[in-house]
Structure 1
Amino acid sequence: MDGTFKFADFIAGWFGGLCGVVVGHPLDTIKVRQQNFGTNLFVAISRTFRHEGPPGFFKGMLCPLLTIGPSNAILFGVYGNLLHLTLDNYQPRKISHTDCEALRHVFVAGTVGGFFQAIFVCPAELIKTLMQIRTGGGGSWRRHSEVAYSGSIDAFFGIVRDRGVRGLFRGFVPMAIRDVPTSGLYTMTYEALNSYFEQCHVPLMLKQTIAGGAAGVASWIFVIPFDVVKSRIQADSYNHPVYNGMLDCFYKSYQKDGLGIFFKGAPAIMLRTFPVNAALFVGYEAVLRHLE
């Protein structure tokens, strides 16, 4: 057990998060639009490109760029420091895939890190979602009401002014259900696969790419319905809300759109998740090796 506080995991997590944003934001925009407008992947892509051009895919990217670094620093910093505190002689990426006790510690540390990350990320996710559904009313994207804010900064101060700081945490419950336990699954899957591929003598970069991408897919595959509900609550009108909480959103969404709505955006999520998390872990590991 090492009681020394480690900064390396914070810095490496920050850099890895930035790598993930650059790779994945366009498909994240498409996912959010599918979940709120009820269309399929190819229609969402074609409408965005036709009416808004390439910049349409990058709407709302300012908030992730500003916050994904510190948010991943929180996740990996808490995670790494907890493992240093709870595991004797812990070394990053040296946990065996056959060591069930160590993997249990990995899961718990990832879950705790995911909780603190969710608190930090929720306001950014809210503002990002509001920007991503700003379509300008073009063509078949037209909605009965458009977002009142002109940009990410205007949205932040406008929400605080009109709704208080609490307004920034709209959609936190489904987001926490989506992110907290799956952060434990995410880190555990990565550590186990990393150890297995190490044993199989897989080249370093390929090992990190596959393990990181697979960890991302494993952490998403069970929680897509909560992501849909989170997106719908965050995109809901402040003045004339349709939904009164998470359960009400589940019920009304099912009544209006059927069971399939809870898996809207799944192809975009899966297409996005593997490369985003592969890039995140490759960047994270590169900085961690340099620092340690």
Structure 2
Amino acid sequence: MVNASATSASEPDFRDSIPRTVKDLVAGSVAGIVQVLVGQPFDTIKVRLQGQSAANPIYKGPADAFMKTYKQEGAAAFYKGTLTPLIGIGACVSIQFFANEYMKRFFTNRNLTSIPPSERSATKPPPLTTVQLLISGAASGIANSVLSAPVEHIRIRLQVQTTEADAIATGRTFYKGPVDAIRRIYAERGIAGVWKGQGVTVAREILAYSAYFVTYESLVQRYMEREGITDRTKLPMAKAMGYGAVAGFGFWIACFPVDVIKSKIQLDHLDPAKRLYRSSWHCLTHTFRAEGVPGLFRGFVPCMLRAAPVNSFTFAAFEIAMNLLGR
């Protein structure tokens, strides 16, 4: 692996000229692409379970959803709607990591002010507090929501599609692909239609990314302090993957019921006169009355199965990319 020590002291490292913002965004894009490719099949099953009717469900559970999807539509069905997240989630994860890294640097510089100026060059800044890490994660979620709402809206509408006949029978529009979906939704409801579910998406992202980044960064910070490591490039990739898996569990545990409501809102009819839910709160109360607590955890099992591999590879990809770019 490339690192700064591999470069001769007499030769400047070209990576030092790359702006930190560019490094964060590029590394985040790499992590986002890896995240989509690893996680899309799990996410397709999750969304199909979340979007089905409680009164007349199509699938009995995750295993049944997997088998029926595979038998009826083939392996390619698990990657329905992938183009949108591959482009969009790549951008979203770039924003997530950039915002988180920016806030971490902000708080690190702020913590340095507690050290006398004469001692700053020789003293390691105090570690970030849990509150600072939570705020950094929340900021990344808010920034991410601007793109994640439309990206996920388009993706889940494509994910629940089986055949055109089934779409018509259930009262849904059948979209030929992400571009067709964006074009037709915009034509029907304008920009608000494309960004359907923005409010509940912001709520989900704040909860999710606060838990996500505080878990990962706290574990990394504790490990480096315990081992006496000051250079992040020395973090073993096995540790990054393990901590990423734990962070993934934290992400979904923190936000899953809100994610269910988000999916229901985004799958609801575009025409306000034909919608089942008047608001996110109405969707929550309606779901709870009709299905109880289990209704707020539909798709939880495939989501948890997805969390470990997806986030292991996401954080490993980010750390490797940052190391190659020169932290």
TM-score (norm 1): 0.89
Contact 2:197–2:266 under 8 Å retained in 1: yes
The 5 Å alignment of 1:131-146 reads: 131-136=158-163, 144-146=170-172
**Residues of 1 paired with 2:144 and 2:235: CA distance?**
31
1:271 to 297, 301, 305: 305
Structure 1 residue 134, shift from structure 2 partner: 0.6
The 5 Å alignment of 1:276-287 reads: 276-287=310-321
Matched, 1:7 2:22: yes
Structure 1 residue 218, shift from structure 2 partner: 0.7
- 2:286 corresponds in structure 1 to 252
- Equivalent residue of 1:222, what SS? helix
1:19 to 22, 25, 34: 34
**Residues of 2 paired with 1:148 and 1:103: CA distance?**
46
Structure 1 residue 203, shift from structure 2 partner: 7.2
Letter in 2 for 1:46: M
- Equivalent residue of 1:243, what SS? coil
Structure 1 residue 6, shift from structure 2 partner: 3.1
Matched, 1:179 2:205: yes
**Residues of 2 paired with 1:203 and 1:82: CA distance?**
21
Structure 1 residue 35, shift from structure 2 partner: 0.7
- 1:78 corresponds in structure 2 to 99
Rate the CA distance shift 1:266–1:143 in 2: closer, same or farther, 3 A. Answer: farther
**Residues of 1 paired with 2:50 and 2:269: CA distance?**
15
- 2:12 corresponds in structure 1 to none
**Residues of 1 paired with 2:254 and 2:20: CA distance?**
34
**Structure of higher CA gyration radius:** 2
Contact 1:135–1:142 under 8 Å retained in 2: no
**Residues of 2 paired with 1:222 and 1:177: CA distance?**
11
Structure 1 residue 262, shift from structure 2 partner: 0.7
Letter in 2 for 1:82: M
Range with bigger deviation, 192-201 or 253-262: 192-201
Structure 1 residue 244, shift from structure 2 partner: 1.0
- 1:212 corresponds in structure 2 to 244
Contact 1:75–1:116 under 8 Å retained in 2: yes
Structure 2 unaligned blocks of 5 or more: 1-18, 112-123
The number of residue pairs the alignment matches comes to 281
**Residues of 1 paired with 2:21 and 2:200: CA distance?**
31
Structure 1 residue 22, shift from structure 2 partner: 0.5
Matched, 1:155 2:170: no
Cα deviation digits, residues 42-76 of structure 1 (max 9, x gap):
11111101110101111111110011111111111
Structure 1 residue 143, shift from structure 2 partner: 5.2
Contact 2:193–2:270 under 8 Å retained in 1: no
- 1:69 corresponds in structure 2 to 90
- Equivalent residue of 1:87, what SS? helix
- 2:134 corresponds in structure 1 to 107
Rate the CA distance shift 1:102–1:257 in 2: closer, same or farther, 3 A. Answer: closer
Cα deviation digits, residues 150-200 of structure 1 (max 9, x gap):
211001111111111111121122222111132122111111112334436
**Residues of 2 paired with 1:89 and 1:252: CA distance?**
46
**Residues of 1 paired with 2:33 and 2:193: CA distance?**
26
**Residues of 2 paired with 1:102 and 1:120: CA distance?**
28
- 2:75 corresponds in structure 1 to 54
**Residues of 1 paired with 2:207 and 2:307: CA distance?**
17
Cα deviation digits, residues 194-223 of structure 1 (max 9, x gap):
233443699712101110110111111132
Contact 2:168–2:174 under 8 Å retained in 1: no
Where does structure 1 differ by over 4 angstroms across 4 or more consecutive aligned residues?
A: 200-203
Letter in 2 for 1:266: F
- Equivalent residue of 2:81, what SS? coil
Contact 1:51–1:138 under 8 Å retained in 2: no
Rate the CA distance shift 1:253–1:143 in 2: closer, same or farther, 3 A. Answer: farther
CA RMSD in angstroms, aligned pairs only: 2.4
- Equivalent residue of 1:242, what SS? coil
TM-score (norm 2): 0.79
